[in-house]
């Protein structure tokens, strides 16, 4: 069964909304994507894992910008303060700590050159387009939808546990220090998603607004899914790497020199 937006016509209560959101996650969250199955079960080579980490670097780097864009639209100091913790989690309380740095450590731990990663040169265009779409969404839609688009975090603890266990088991080029980013997320993600879920349940006051919440989560699932489609096409299937994007063997020799 493929859910569509029309399947959420019955949203008569906050509880019905939560059930609908969980149904969307069960079907659409990127834990279901074939690329993740390959990643977590040890079926990718080092270059493919590098491509994944490199492209998701771009996503990670834009998340605190997305959160700041959200805060820039909020009048209520309590909501801004609550949300600011997300930026702190990514940027750290001082240089060298925080999620963005940890993701960079994942990249360099996989053998990527830090300057190359930071240059963003090898990122797939499709990654950039999907991530920018998310940032624009949070800038332009209602605050309710902006909050709702973060609700994919509801489904991330499971995938993070599968990822850490699977990658440690299957890849000899990965260790616990390299995967440090995910350790923090296991506690941060539920705190963030609990808040966001309570927020949308309280602030979506009629069926139309609950529909908008569902649409926001569907949109965000598309953003995540499209990033894996692009990786899968470029680095797993015979689709070919788009001109200019990261090429595992050659680029590395060049940039690591």
Residue closer to a second copy by CB (options 89, 229) is: 229
Sorted by sequence, the CB contacts under 8 Å of residue 124 that are 6+ apart come out as 55, 230, 231, 234, 242, 245, 246
Residue closer to a second copy by CB (options 164, 224) is: 224
Phi, psi of 59 (to 5 degrees): -60, -50
Residue closer to a second copy by CB (options 29, 181) is: 29
Distances (CA, A) of 220 to 17, 54, 127, 152, 214: 17, 20, 13, 7, 10
> What does the block give as tokens for 41?
């079960």
CA angle 188, 134, 159 (to 5 degrees): 40
- Minimum distance between the CB of residue 69 and a second copy, rounded to whole angstroms? 13
- Minimum distance between the CB of residue 183 and a second copy, rounded to whole angstroms? 30
- Minimum distance between the CB of residue 175 and a second copy, rounded to whole angstroms? 31
- Minimum distance between the CB of residue 234 and a second copy, rounded to whole angstroms? 7
Residue closer to a second copy by CB (options 82, 215) is: 215
Residue closer to a second copy by CB (options 112, 230) is: 230
The most distant pair of C-alpha atoms in the chain lies apart, rounded to whole Å, by 60
- Minimum distance between the CB of residue 32 and a second copy, rounded to whole angstroms? 8
Rounded distance between C-alpha atoms, residue 145 and residue 125, angstroms: 25
| Residues binding a second copy (CB under 8 A) | 2-4, 27-28, 34, 121, 124-126, 128-130, 132-133, 136, 218, 221-223, 225-226, 229-230, 232-234, 237-240, 242-244
């Amino acid at each position: 069964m493929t859910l569509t937006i029309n399947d959420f016509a019955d949203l008569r209560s906050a509880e019905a909304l939560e059930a609908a959101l969980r149904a969307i996650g069960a079907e659409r969250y990127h834990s279901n994507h074939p690329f993740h199955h390959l990643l977590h079960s040890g079926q990718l080579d080092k270059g493919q894992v590098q491509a994944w980490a490199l492209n998701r670097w771009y996503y990670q780097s834009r998340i605190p910008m997305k959160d700041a864009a959200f805060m820039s639209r909020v009048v209520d100091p309590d909501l801004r303060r609550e949300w600011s913790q997300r930026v702190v989690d990514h940027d750290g309380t001082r240089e060298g700590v925080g999620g963005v740095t940890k993701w960079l450590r994942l990249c360099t731990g996989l053998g990527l050159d830090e300057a190359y990663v930071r240059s963003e040169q090898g990122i797939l265009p499709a990654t950039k387009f999907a991530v920018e779409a998310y940032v624009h969404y949070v800038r332009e839609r209602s605050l309710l939808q902006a909050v709702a688009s973060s609700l994919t975090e509801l489904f991330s603890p499971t995938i993070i546990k599968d990822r850490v266990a699977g990658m440690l088991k299957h890849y000899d080029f990965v260790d616990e220090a390299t995967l440090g980013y995910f350790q923090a997320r296991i506690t941060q993600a539920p705190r963030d998603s609990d808040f966001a879920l309570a927020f949308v349940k309280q602030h979506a006051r009629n069926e139309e607004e609950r529909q908008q919440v569902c649409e926001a989560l569907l949109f965000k699932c598309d953003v995540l899914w499209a990033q894996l489609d692009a990786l899968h096409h470029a680095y797993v299937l015979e689709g070919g790497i788009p001109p200019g994007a990261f090429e595992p063997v050659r680029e590395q020799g060049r940039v690591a020199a």
